[in-house]
Structure 1
Amino acid sequence: MCFRPANLVLTKTCPDCGEMSDATVAQCPKCGRDMINVEPDMPDPNAPGVPGAAVFDPSDIGKPPSAPKAPGAPSSPTPPKAPGAPR
């Protein structure tokens, strides 16, 4: 099965001027450099639609964040130590 998200946008960054443009451009719109052999930029690994990224649930919009967990029970106190030798 092939997975290609519909909302994933690939870009290319011009090595000469740094202009970011669509990955399908053949020429940099800012400086005119040939962009045919420039590799597309890697997408953000946490961007929506990238395999393995967190899944965004639109029904969560407007809901308050989940409450923090309750603290654990305190541990038992340690017994007092014996007094030391007089100095």
Structure 2
Amino acid sequence: MRRLLTTPRFDRRLETFLKRHPELTATVHRAMTVLTGERYPANFRTHKLGGILKGCLGASISFEYRIVFVLSPGTICFIDIGTHDEVYR
């Protein structure tokens, strides 16, 4: 199990995201918990990112919404959450 870290920007974005989409609260928290583990279920479609997000990974928390994070030994740091266009700009 990795140690979970978040950035201040992610904390603000998560708060706003959950206010706009309260029905996804359980899904987001489950995704964050599962992603702290060593293996990822296929339904999250975890993938490496390129461009300005090179070194980051992205995962789908629903058909429309994504979460961006960085892995380092023993930790996972969540960076952004939102629609595809919002997080991959």
TM-score w.r.t. structure 2 length?
0.20
In our comparison, the structure showing a higher alpha carbon Rg is 1
More strand, by proportion = 2
Q: Which gives a bigger RCO, structure 1 or 2 (Cα 8 Å, sep 6+)?
A: 2
Higher helix share: 2
TM-score w.r.t. structure 1 length?
A: 0.20
